[in-house]
């Protein structure tokens, strides 16, 4: 809300329902209960109130196992077979379910997303007061040249037809909510970093390592998921190299896993990347850093400060939107023992 969003435009689905959720609801925030206990807590505070329910539809799909948030191996949402218990709690507190939320994962398979949309519409049939269906599931974005982005027309048309069939059958025209954050923002940002060191492990199984002045403190996805990001070499003079070399690119944290070039989907396996030849002091631009990077970074690990952020405005000018963090700011919440 401090960023300018109206409270009534915010829908809250969380693994940990904050203790102050009643204050949020009173301001207009819409809460989706993500567990039976959350639904109980909501009912105790707001009997007779309007609430949303997030279900685990029993299926999931993600770009990796770590981004799959549906199915029996996921703790997200209320297991779909607990529907009778949900109805029991709803009746106990005279609640009105007005939203159904499902989410299967980030970078999900379009076919699974379409199947879950049908299952989610079936859940909407169980609650006559439902007016909104949130079909969560991040659409795949091609960061690398060989990766394909989701075709929204291919994915969306069958879902549109399913909504139309639901409306014809029930007389209820539902509002569809989707979650395209990564799809919109993934390729909107880049991290500009410099090569701080170059290390060669001189054996037949060795590598040439480039050490950067950033790492999992700015871009965690490769270390966590084995995700791939385009890496562009730029000389200190601002020119593109004319020759290439094979490198393993690593970050500045004291972790072997602080790795920018893992094998695809294998975060614990290092992989060489063929890229423009660089030396100490040259630059590496890490593209595709606009989603799940700054917001998911291991902030302040090894006491590294938050990096500054710059935005390119519509007129082509640049504006500083976040200053580099100082050591005093890192230490601000630490307390001396008297």
Catalogue the active-site residues: 254
Give residue 235's Cα distance to chain centre: 32
d(CA 269, CA 273): 13
Q: Tell me the two tokens of residue 19.
A: 């203790």
Tokens found for residue 162: 């399913």
Instruction: Tell whether the torsion through CA atoms of 264, 266, 272 and 275 is positive or negative.
Output: positive
Q: How far apart are CA 263 and CA 266, in angstroms?
A: 5
Give the position of tokens 């960023």.
3
- For 53-91, give the DSSP string: EEEE-S----SSGGGB--STT--SSEEGGGHHHHHHHHH
Structure-token pair, residue 189: 């940002």
Instruction: Confirm if 137 and 116 have CB atoms less than 8 A apart.
Output: yes
Helix (H, G, I), strand (E, B) or coil at 154: helix
The helix (H) or strand (E) run that includes residue 167 is helix 152-170
Tokens 């191996």 map to which residue?
73
Bridge partners of residue 247, in order along the sequence: 273
Q: Where are the alpha helices (DSSP H) in 171-254?
A: 181-185, 221-225
Distance CA 100, CA 117 (A): 11
CA distance between the termini of the chain? 38
- Which two three-digit tokens encode residue 11? 């829908």
What is the Cα–Cα distance from 296 to 76, expressed in whole angstroms? 18
Whole-angstrom Cα Rg for the chain: 24
């Amino acid at each position: 809300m401090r960023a300018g969003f109206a409270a009534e435009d915010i829908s809250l689905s969380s693994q940990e329902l904050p203790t102050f959720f009643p204050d949020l609801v009173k301001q207009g925030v819409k809460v989706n209960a993500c567990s039976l206990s959350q639904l109980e807590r909501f009912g105790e505070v707001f009997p007779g109130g309007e609430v949303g329910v997030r279900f685990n539809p029993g299926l999931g799909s993600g770009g990796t196992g770590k981004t799959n948030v549906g199915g029996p191996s996921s703790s997200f949402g209320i297991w779909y077979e607990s529907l009778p218990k949900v109805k029991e709690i709803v009746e106990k507190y005279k609640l009105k379910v007005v939203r159904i939320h499902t989410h299967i994962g980030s970078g999900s398979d379009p076919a699974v997303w379409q199947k879950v949309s049908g299952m989610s519409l079936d859940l909407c049939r169980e609650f006559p007061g439902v007016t909104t269906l949130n079909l969560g599931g991040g659409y795949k974005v091609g960061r690398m040249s060989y990766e394909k982005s989701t075709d929204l027309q291919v994915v969306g048309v069958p879902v549109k037809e399913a909504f139309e069939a639901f409306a014809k059958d029930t007389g209820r025209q539902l509002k569809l909510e989707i979650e395209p954050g990564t799809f919109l923002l993934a390729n909107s940002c880049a991290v500009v970093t410099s090569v701080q060191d170059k290390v060669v492990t001189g054996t037949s199984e060795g590598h040439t390592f480039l050490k950067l002045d950033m790492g999992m403190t700015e871009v965690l996805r490769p270390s966590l998921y084995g995700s791939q990001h385009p890496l562009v070499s730029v000389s200190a003079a601002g020119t593109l190299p004319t020759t290439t070399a094979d490198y393993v690119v690593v970050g500045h944290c004291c972790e072997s896993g602080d790795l920018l070039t893992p094998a695809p989907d294998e975060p614990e396996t290092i992989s060489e990347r063929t890229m423009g030849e660089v030396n100490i002091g040259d630059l590496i631009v890490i593209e595709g850093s606009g989603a799940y990077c700054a917001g998911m970074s291991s902030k302040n690990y090894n006491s590294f400060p938050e990096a500054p952020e710059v935005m390119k405005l519509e007129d082509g000018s640049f504006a500083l939107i976040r200053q580099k963090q100082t050591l005093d700011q890192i230490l601000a919440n630490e307390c001396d023992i008297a």
